[in-house]
Each structure stands twice: as C-alpha cells, then as structure tokens.
Amino acid sequence: MTGESQWSGGAYLDGGVGAEARWSVPASDQPRLVMPVVNRIPGAGRTSWSSNRPLGTVDAGRAGPQGGSPAPGALLPVILADTLRPGATTLTARFTAGESSVDALLLRPEVSQVVFDHTALPQSAAPGPRTRTITMTGAHRVTVLSYDGRGRLLNTSTRGGPTVTATVAAGGFTVLRT
C-alpha cells in the first residue's frame, strides 16, 4: 500500500470478485453520508455498497495520473450516491469487479452541530436544505444568520426563543446567537 496516509493503521480490507464485507455501525436519528476510503489506483476493481438498499458503487480504478509520490494511486474517501438511512446499523460492500482495497469507512451526519451557551452552529453536508430545531438555554430572542456553502449570507432573522427551528442551506451553515 501507499504508506502515506494509512487511516486504518495498515489494516486494509482487500477483496476480489465475489468477496463481501459487512460492518455494524451505530444507529443515528438522521441520514449519514457514507465515504469508503479506497486506494484509487489504475486497474483496481469496483465495489457495490448497500444497507437494505443500494447506496452506490466505487470504481477504485478511476485514478488520475501519478504525481510526485513514489506510490501509484491515491488513498481517498469517495462519497456514495445515496445516504445511510436513519436507524440503519449495517453496511455491506460487495467486490464486483477486479481487486480493491478499502482502508477505512467514514460516516458523516447530513447536519452536524455544536451548541455553546450563547451560540449554536449547525453545518450541512446534505444536497438540499435541512431544518434543525435547537434550544438555546435561557434565550428569549435568538438571532439566526444563514450562510451558503461559500460563506455568503443568505438570510438574517430574529426569533423568540429558547427553542428555534432554523434552515441550514445545502453545504452551508447557520449561526444562532442569543
């Protein structure tokens, strides 16, 4: 392997046609992006991913030209076409063509957030707008600033608190302050 970015500490999962791997993952209350980290190298194979329904296919042979690295290919996360549904607890990879190597499996909530005493910051990785209901402790008025994925301000409003429902733009973020 490359040895340059071993997310898994060198514990790759290698498979050829017909091989299958399953993971148990914690349940979530929202959809999650599934990102297998694969060694993308010319001539590598393909894997199909599912969780009670198809999630997408990764063609590990789709690698760009080799750069300055002594190792061919690149160890990269690939975002699957569909999300893991809320409550899902298993993922399956089927090696459908050639041979492939999976280094790690990343799961990311569509909307992640952090809440402090007087500020909350939900951020979206979703393909469309999402809403979140956030409680700001002891707040009577909450200022809501919504930004797109490039950091451009989309909307500003002030709402009664302490519980506020706010929209988070696709790929963007929202700031809530008391």
**pLDDT of 39 higher than 60:** yes
Say what percent of the chain tops pLDDT 90. 72
Q: What is the mean pLDDT of residues 25-29?
A: 94
Q: What local confidence, expressed as pLDDT, does residue 43 receive?
A: 87
Q: What local confidence, expressed as pLDDT, does residue 54 receive?
A: 97
Looking only at the bridges linking them, the beta strands covering 13-15 and 100-109 are antiparallel
The Cα 131–Cα 122 span in angstroms is 10
The Cα 46–Cα 28 span in angstroms is 28
Model confidence at 161, in pLDDT bands (50, 70, 90)?
confident
Amino acid at 87: G
Q: Which domains does the chain have, with CATH numbers?
A: 13-109 (2.60.120.260), 111-177 (2.60.40.1180)
**pLDDT of 5 higher than 70:** no
**Residue pLDDT, tens place only, 87-96:** 999 999 999 9
**Pick from 94, 96, 130: nearest CA to 111:** 130
Half-sphere CA count of 161, side-chain side, radius 13 A: 20
Q: What local confidence, expressed as pLDDT, does residue 1 receive?
A: 45
Q: Are 127 and 168 in contact (CB under 8 A)?
A: no
